[in-house]
Amino acid sequence: MSRAFPDARAFLVAATAMTLPALLFPGSALATSSTSLPPPGSPPPAVGQPERREIFVLFPSGEDDLLHGQKRTIFWTSTVEDRAKQALAELISGPTEGLLPIIPADARVREFYLLPDGTGFVDFSRELLKVPGGSATEHLISGAIVDTLAVNFPQVRKLGILVEGEEIETLNGHLDTRLPVRPDPSILEPALAEMLKAGAGAGTEETEGTAAPAQEPSPQGR
Partner 1 sequence: MLTGRFLAAAIFLLASASGPGIAGMAPDEPVAAPRSSSDSGAFKVSIGQRKVLLSTMSLDGVPYVSVKAMAAALGGTIKQGRHPGDLTLGLSGHRLLFSSDDPALVSLDSGAASISPAAKTLSGELYVPSEFITRVLSPLLEQEPPSSGGTRDARKLDVKIVGGEGSLRLVFDRPRAAAYEMKDANGELLLRIDDPATQPPYRSRSIGSPLLKSISFDSSPAGLTVRIGKGDDLGRATVFDLKDPNRIVVELEGGKNVPVGGAAVSDPPRTSGGASLPGPIRPSSTAFSGTAATARRGLRTVVLDPGHGGEQKGAEGSAGLLEKDVTLDTAQRLQKMLQKAGIAVTLTRTSDSDLSLVDRTTVANREKADVFVSIHVNAAPRRDARGAETYYLAYQSVDQEAADLAAAENASAGGAAAGLGAGSAGLVLWDLAQAEHLRESSELAQIVQKELNEALGVRDRGVKQAPFRVLMGATMPAVLVEVGFISNTSEESVLKSEEYRDKIASALARALLAFKAAYDRRQGAAPR
Q: Which of these ranges, 30-38, 180-188, 192-200, 206-214, lies near partner 1 under the rule CB under 8 A? A: 180-188
Q: Is 129 in the site for partner 1 (CB under 8 A)?
A: no
- Residue 102 found at the interface with partner 1 (CB under 8 A): yes
For residue 38, give Cα distances in angstroms to 10, 41, 80, 100: 21, 8, 16, 41
**Binding pattern to partner 1, positions 10-39, x when CB under 8 A?**
-------------xxxx-------------
Q: How far is CA 163 from the centre of its chain?
A: 15
Residue placing its CB nearer to partner 1 in the complex, 48 or 133: 133
Q: Which is nearer to partner 1, 144 or 151 (CB)?
A: 144
* Candidate list 18, 121, 127, 194; residue touching partner 1; CB under 8 A: 121
CA angle 126, 55, 204 (to 5 degrees): 80
The least CB distance from residue 166 to partner 1, in Å, is 5
Report yes or no: 119 and 157 within 8 Å, Cβ to Cβ.
yes
Q: Which of 73, 135 has the CB closer to partner 1? A: 135
Interaction mask 46-85, partner 1, x per CB under 8 A:
--------------xxxxxx--------------------
Question: For residue 16, which of 88, 69, 120 has the smallest C-alpha distance?
Answer: 88
Residue closer to partner 1 by CB (options 20, 192) is: 20
Distance, CA of 19 to CA of 9 (rounded, Å): 15
State the CB neighbour count (10 A cutoff) for residue 123: 18
> Which residue from 138, 124, 130, 153 is spatially nearest to 55, judged by alpha carbons?
153
* Close Cβ partners of 118 (under 8 Å, ≥ 6 residues apart): 155, 156, 157, 158, 204
CB of 189 to partner 1, least distance (A): 14
Binding site for partner 1 (CB under 8 A): 23-26, 60-65, 100-102, 110-111, 113-116, 119, 121, 123, 132-137, 139-140, 158, 160, 162, 165-167, 169-170, 173-176, 179-182
